[in-house]
């Protein structure tokens, strides 16, 4: 049971003080890229400085801030919420609302009316020119699936008919001039006001290699980075549904999705960074880690074949690689 959160700093380039918000998803949420999507409004959770949060953490125990019951206490002072896919009945201890906002954020956001129905969120990046942000959804299951006992709640307005283990990428339109649920101005020109699906994976029956998600589509996105110069969203996977994790490039103008590289079986595509220009060159940083981290998508025959190779090449499975992609802008000329 996760949500979309936003922190707006009091001063530009200074994160030591600011206001925390949680999104309320409006009607129309969908993971169909052809659908219009849903508007977002923002609920103010609280304002604090870094020093205040540090002091809160040093002076409060969890039980000082929030009282949690795992069965219905039949007491109107408690509210039923879902956290981590499990029903809980909670109440904030008297005078601890601000502490709860910053130290028990997910539970407090649910109580405040935030849409706490997303599953695991991963990377976020921003397309400055188009004023669009992107968020990776590792999977679309459990609390996002209508009627699912593991955390789904109608008040979140997040409801899909069928689980998609392969996950997807959301896009959020950004705008200024927004107000929070209390009518106060939000001090940012980069507030997400509308969300929709951009790319969604596809679950399949295991293919001959062992893939449980279509290898021609993104599965379980993790790292996201946007290149303004290339007008391209780069997507690194950390998937239990692809035998090999991939790095993808999605051009937002042509709408073309291209697979750029494949990591060794079991390795996560990570360390992603788009360097638009450095001494006249463009670089896409790309790493991988934990090669040979076998999962259910790796058949025993595949493991038997690859495990000795992974151990020989990647320090007995404790090795990783750091690298980059680039290109020479001058092509070969035929004369």
Distance in angstroms (rounded) separating the CA atoms of residues 72 and 153: 17
> How much is the mean pLDDT over the chain?
96
Nearest to 123 by CA among 234, 241, 287, 289: 234
Q: What is the pLDDT of residues 30-89, one digit of tens each?
A: 999 999 999 999 999 999 999 999 999 999 999 999 999 999 999 999 999 999 999 999
Query: Residue 112 burial by CB count (10 A; 0-12/13-18/19+): exposed, middle or buried?
Result: buried
Q: What is the mean pLDDT of residues 22-35?
A: 97
Residue that the structure tokens 């090795």 belong to: 319
Tokens of 149: 């006992």
Nearest to 210 by CA among 304, 276, 133, 128: 304
pLDDT at 331: 52
Q: Which residue has the higher pLDDT, 74 or 326?
A: 74
Spatial contact of 60 and 96, defined as CB atoms under 8 Å apart: yes
Its pTM stands at 0.94
Q: What is the mean pLDDT of residues 88-96?
A: 98
Q: Running DSSP on this structure, what letter comes out for residue 197?
A: E
Is a pLDDT exceeding 60 seen at residue 333?
no
Distance in angstroms (rounded) separating the CA atoms of residues 250 and 270: 17
pLDDT at 280: 87
pLDDT at 327: 76
pLDDT at 81: 97
Spatial contact of 4 and 118, defined as CB atoms under 8 Å apart: yes
Tokens of 250: 């999605």
pLDDT at 12: 95
Strands 321-325 and 281-289, sheet pairing: antiparallel
Is a pLDDT exceeding 60 seen at residue 332?
no
Within 10 angstroms of residue 206's Cβ, the number of other Cβ atoms is 14
Is a pLDDT exceeding 80 seen at residue 330?
no
Q: What is the pLDDT of residues 166-220, one digit of tens each?
A: 999 999 999 999 999 999 999 999 999 999 999 999 999 999 999 999 999 999 9
Query: What value does the CA radius of gyration of the chain take, rounded to a whole number of Å?
Result: 22
Distance in angstroms (rounded) separating the CA atoms of residues 196 and 122: 16
Nearest to 169 by CA among 138, 141, 213, 192: 138
Q: What is the mean pLDDT of residues 243-258?
A: 97
Phi-psi region of 177 (alpha: psi -120 to 50; beta: other; left: phi over 0): left
């Amino acid at each position: 049971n996760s949500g979309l959160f936003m922190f707006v700093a009091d001063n530009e380039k200074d994160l030591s003080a600011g206001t925390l918000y949680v999104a309320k998803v409006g009607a129309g949420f969908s993971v169909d890229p052809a659908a219009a999507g849903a508007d977002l409004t923002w609920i103010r959770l609280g304002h604090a400085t870094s020093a205040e949060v540090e002091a809160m953490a040093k002076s409060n125990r969890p039980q000082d801030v929030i009282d949690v019951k795992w069965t219905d206490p039949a007491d109107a002072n408690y509210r039923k919420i879902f956290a981590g896919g499990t029903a809980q009945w909670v109440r904030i201890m008297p005078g601890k609302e601000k502490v709860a906002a910053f130290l028990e954020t997910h539970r407090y956001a649910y109580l405040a009316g935030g849409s706490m129905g997303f599953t695991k969120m991963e990377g976020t990046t921003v397309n400055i020119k188009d004023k669009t942000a992107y968020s990776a959804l590792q999977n679309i299951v459990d609390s996002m699936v209508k009627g699912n006992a593991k955390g789904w709640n109608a008040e979140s307005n997040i409801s899909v008919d069928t689980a998609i283990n392969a996950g997807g990428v959301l896009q959020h339109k950004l705008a200024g001039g927004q107000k929070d649920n209390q009518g106060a101005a939000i001090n940012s020109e980069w507030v997400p006001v509308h969300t929709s699906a951009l790319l969604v994976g596809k679950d399949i029956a295991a293919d001959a290699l062992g893939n449980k998600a279509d290898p021609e589509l993104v599965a379980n996105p993790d790292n996201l980075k946007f290149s303004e110069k290339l007008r391209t969203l780069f997507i690194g996977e950390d998937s239990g549904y692809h035998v090999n994790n991939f790095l993808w490039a999605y051009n937002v103008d042509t709408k073309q999705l291209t697979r750029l590289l494949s990591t060794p079986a079991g390795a996560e595509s990570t360390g992603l960074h788009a360097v638009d220009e450095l001494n006249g060159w463009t670089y896409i940083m790309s790493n991988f880690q934990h090669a040979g981290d076998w999962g259910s998508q790796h058949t025993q025959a595949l493991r038997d074949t690859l495990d000795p190779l992974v151990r020989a090449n990647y320090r007995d499975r404790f090795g990783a690689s750091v690298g980059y992609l680039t290109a020479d802008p001058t092509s070969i000329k035929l004369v």
